[in-house]
Amino acid sequence: MKKSIVFLAFILTLAACKTVHITGRKQLNFIPNSQLFPASFAQYDQFLKEHPPSKDVQKQERIRRIGNRIVKAVETYYKSRGWEDELKGYQWEFNVVDDSTMNAFAMPGGKVVYFDGLLKVTTTDDEIAAVMGHEIAHALANHGAERMSQVYMQNLGAILTMLATQNAPPEEREKWLAIYGYGSTLGVILPYSRKHESEADKIGQILMAIAGYNPDAAVNVWIKMTKLGGQQPPEFLSTHPSHERRIENLKKWAPEAKKIARQYGVVFDDENEEEGKK
């Protein structure tokens, strides 16, 4: 039994190794979109029944315009790289909900919710595009499926730990199960969550830039979030990078995003100003 589970885990790991487009990172993902997307779409519809989309037409049109513009950039970029088949099954949809929470989220398959409260921080189209690019990036990188795969493997590891300690005294067994639980969470699940957030930041900056939005705005968003205050947990206990690390990374990645966008004919306002000075 124990050998069978170990062999299953080994086979799953080998078969599920995929590559995230744009960053090239290898990821563990053995959940096919054909199975995940329908369930995701159903959950999204249920969420909107419980949290009806805002009736503010201007807000909805603005969010949808920016979101669809980034999707067009995704389609252009993916087609240029020969990745267009990877977009099959996505059904992009963007909705604003009236909620004071400063948040947004994307579900597998391209369903995005933008909370009205976040519009108090993201006041410009560029800043909104920074958030939308980030959420679209989560969907494109299949972070939801990867997290589910990680949790599955974590549970499989717990079973193996139980089997390995089944003949040990109860106190000893509980100790090893606790060590495994803390170790897998702090050493795997949380770091991967932070990696997902950083990866979505980087991909999102590139996508928003190709769509013609200034990637420097992503830095502005997190500077504003930092000024709002609020206690953050230590980074190693958090699923998100610290605001300071996020700002540092976004500043570093913005020039690269602009460089890629220029390949698609995008010229940014600050570059126009520099050209006018010559």
146 has catalytic annotation:
no
**What is the DSSP code (8-state) at residue 92?**
-
Question: Which residues in 140-186 belong to E strands, given as ranges?
Answer: none
Angstrom distance (rounded) from CA 69 to CA 266:
13
Phi, psi of 17 (to 5 degrees): -80, 110
Sign of CA dihedral 154, 157, 162, 165: negative
Angstrom distance (rounded) from CA 239 to CA 179:
20
Catalytic residue (choose from 61, 86, 127, 135): 135
CA distances, 272 to each of 199, 208, 265, 277 (Å): 29, 18, 13, 9
Q: Which amino acid, 221?
A: V
Torsion of CA 215, 221, 227, 232, to 10 degrees: -100
Cα angle for residues 205, 214, 245 (degrees, 5° grid): 45
Question: Which amino acids are annotated catalytic?
Answer: 135
